[in-house]
Amino acid sequence: MTQRSRIIGVASSLLLLTVVLSACGGALPAQQWPGLTVAGGTVYVISGSPQQVYLLDAETGVQKGVYMPQGQHKGLVYWSPVTVSDDDLAKSTSEGPLAFVGFSEPQAKIYGLFAFDATTGLEQWSIPAQDLILAAPVYSKGVVYYGSSDGQVYAIDVKTRMVKTGWPFRAKEAIWGAPLVADSQVYVASMDHHVYCLDAETGKLVWDFEAKGAMAVQPVLDAARGVLYVGDFDARVYAIEASSGKAVSGFDFRADNWIWSEALLAGDRLYVSSLDGNLYALDPANGAVVSPYPFDAGNPLRAAPAQSGEVILAASEAGKLTAVNTTNAQPKWQWPSGVPTAAIYTTPVVVDGTVYVVLMNGQVVALQADNGVQRWTFTPPQIG
């Protein structure tokens, strides 16, 4: 990709999101990309106009339900992706699993975490928030953790629907990435250039790590190595000791443009996508690029890479999804075969041999993972 095209790609992203790197002043994104979650045979996609949560059958794409917070909504709305509970500690009144989502309508001063029945879409309860919740909430052992644009990280007890004692934790700037909960600790990256490690029970700070740039991603943990990986807007990827918060000695990687998505650990490689249009495969030990990578997608990569068997999926701003062979970094298949209809900013989801993709126009597509052949598509209705 040429330097000029890289600049154009960043410019278009800036126009789309109205991002302020310092995250100061409470600037809002001009619009958000659709959320996509697949759990329990259901696709949860935030799509349409106005945006709502559509519940689709994962096999057929048939709409099973829809969720929108109760009341009339006329202003611009903002959602986080949906998170579905995975144990018996969080059930709806109908004894099904709960789904959690952040919802905001700034014009009406509505901000909150909402819980709905993951099967029917019926609202169960909500608690108010102070600002936008843009990243997916994280559920763990009866607690929902989420970061907010007010710069705080919250822990909500699902049974009491109250903030846990000791929480929230306050960072210096907005939290635009999802927390990571592992080993009784919560790891969260902030727009204030810091990665924080918090005690999951008390919210107390265990350690913090300072990066060069703002971060809007969820950290990735290599449990075997005890190392966290996180990318930033300074185009760097950091390897951080999970126990101490110290930088891993000898690890060094920097792309040619922002890294605005989570890294992917797959096999013995760390895959990273960047707004410079490249998909990188790194040695997790030192950050060296593994030959014959990088793969040049030709357009900025906002979505995180996803693994599907022996390929890594790279979704571009131009609307192309490419299945890249892990061995030779060559395309195995691409979708669509013709001219793309809309950009892809949301990371594809791979479940049981199917790749789920949502475009910026709200369309959801299910593809066969082995060859990219389309199985079904869903186009949300335009309301109002």
Task: Give the residue ranges of the chain where pLDDT is below 50.
Answer: 1-31, 384
Q: Where are the domains of the chain?
A: 76-210
Q: For residue 70, what pLDDT is reported?
A: 85
Cβ–Cβ < 8 Å for 231, 269: no
Contacts for 225 with CB less than 8 Å, ≥ 6 apart:
284
Whole-angstrom distance, CA of residue 365 vs CA of residue 370: 15
Q: For residue 354, what pLDDT is reported?
A: 98
Q: For residue 383, what pLDDT is reported?
A: 52
Q: For residue 48, what pLDDT is reported?
A: 86
Q: For residue 49, what pLDDT is reported?
A: 80
Architecture of the domain made up of 76-210: Beta Barrel (2.40)
Q: For residue 31, what pLDDT is reported?
A: 45
Residue 246 tokens read as 């110290």
Residue 85 tokens read as 């509970």
Bridge partners (DSSP) listed for residue 378:
364
Residue 14, phi then psi, degrees to nearest 5: -65, -40
